[in-house]
Structure 1
Amino acid sequence: MNATSVRAPPSVPASRALHIALWVAQVLVAFAFFMAGTAKLTQPIDELAKTMSWITPSSGPLVRFIGLSEVAGALGLLLPSITRILPVLTGLAGVGCTTIMVLAAGVHLSRGEYSGLTAPIVLGGLSAFIAWGRLKKAPIPPRA
């Protein structure tokens, strides 16, 4: 084979199954992030500390920031795709949610809380899948 006969494979459009899987992931991850973020934004820090061992009374502003980031991520996973206004933001929200989960896993690892790794690994993996799917494999076209 010479260099002129080697060609890239033709671009294959994303399958319907991939779009459905991405939408299911987007809804599930958005729901989880919205619920967790809302709790961190609305519940008293002392109440949160009873169920989340990493929270201390002095970590109030950080907890609120994490909650706000989670709610923003949840909205970013759905609204741009639903409205088709700047749908690339959905993929970027997936990157942001993945980052949040990597940091959460790091906190649990540093504290020796290995049982607390399940949610960050699952949600982080789904968020990475959304980021890959919506940025590379199956982007949603913007509104015309």
Structure 2
Amino acid sequence: MNLALWICASLLAAVLLLAGLGKLIVRKEKMVTLPNAGWTGHVSVGVYKTLGALEVAGAAGLVLPAVTGIAPVLVPIAAVCTALLMVGAAITHSRLHEPKAVLANLVYLGLAVFVAWGRFGPEAFLS
């Protein structure tokens, strides 16, 4: 179970890191032209960049506290925050009729919920 939680948290962190860095590096105007990124045309540059920063912070929060042993309780908290982010993303993509993106968000939501449940419960990091 611990291994499964590590794998899920790592995969989720990788997805968040890539998505977040993409938002921080790629200009919003260019992102609008990409598939499943039509939502970027409906938000300000500030919201776009903030989401990128939150995704990078979420990626760090899913892995670094456990790896370093410093405040590992932050891992399930980061997973809950990631789950909330994915709910918002799924709703946004649903409103824009992007079913593939909604499905991806629901998969990430499932991973985040699994990590939160596992790290708060049966495989919590004990100090």
Same fold (TM over 0.5): yes
Who is 1:109 aligned against? 94
Across the aligned residues of Structure 1 and Structure 2, the Cα RMSD in angstroms comes to 1.2
Q: 1:45–1:57: 8 Å Cα contact kept in structure 2?
A: no
**Does residue 48 in structure 1 map to residue 9 in structure 2?**
no
SS at match of 1:71: helix
Identity of aligned residues (%): 34
The structure 2 residue matched to 1:59, chosen from 44, 47, 51, is 44
Aligned counterpart in structure 2 of residue 99 of structure 1, from 55, 69, 84: 84
Match of 2:15 among 13, 23, 32: 32
CA distance in 1, matches of 2:99, 2:30: 23
Q: TM-score scaled by structure 1?
A: 0.83
Give the TM-score normalised by the residue count of structure 2.
Answer: 0.94
* Bigger CA radius of gyration: 1
Mark the runs of 5 or more structure 1 residues left unpaired by the alignment.
1-17
Structure possessing the higher relative contact order (Cα contacts under 8 Å, 6 or more residues apart): 2
Which consecutive unaligned segments of at least 5 residues does structure 2 have?
Answer: none
- What is the aligned counterpart of 2:117 among 132, 135, 139? 132
